[in-house]
Structure 1
């Protein structure tokens, strides 16, 4: 009977998620997932509230998935990242659960998710002193906080106004996240790392 010497080693799902979460391409994917709905909202300003709620709900679900995987790429405290991921998924579910909700309800959900996510991400960036490109991560977090405050403080009176407002902030945040992903790629190349063996920036 053949021995077990030739048996392939078991694949650790957590290790695979960690490698994926440390990849700059994964961070860039999250940025694209933010940019796409923002661009759609800006070029399609007459979208109905129903479609907008579905679009934002799907965006939050996808971003929640990206941030969940990114958590495994961190060597520091993962709890803040998990909080952000769960919050995004919860917000997405709330948007999709009742797509015929009011404009104010949709604004409240999106604004609250952005505000809390930005605060948690900023806390992570401040607490992790050795984080690569810490300033870029902090800038993205501050942008999220400002976006959340603006959406909550300036209630839109129509679906068109809300679409333009959310579209603008999604594009700005997507561009900032893309800059963070490219900065992380630059850091990996300067360090001579071709794989994903270094801890990535906080989500």
Structure 2
């Protein structure tokens, strides 16, 4: 058994090596996207908010389709309500992009506080393990990000989502680019 598993992994690595160019291309595209987000965080924020709106609408439509495709299922009403609410949230976000960005930014700020608190609490349960301090630092940084968001609210709402998108695209681009180059050189 272990040999077939190893052969499967070797095959996968060989296929990845052949696709190194695609990874480099995707990395460069992602890096360019990250740079564009940093160059104009307002437009990036509106793009991120619009994308979230589209996903809410699509998820809502799929939820409605799923609810009404299940004959005799007792959860049809609740599933349909979730679908309708998702579509409405998406429509509201599309109709009012700046207000939607403010709402989403506030949610991100709250999420940073909550996640930070959980990470700090979790870090103390890991004190007997090496590296527990990094979980603590991550929790503290999450709370600091939450404070920064709310310290400059509502002005932060027009840039935070775009900057977060820029950070994500930049780090994603770097990782894809480095992976592609490493595969080419392997």
- Same fold per superposition (TM over 0.5): no
TM-score (norm 2): 0.41
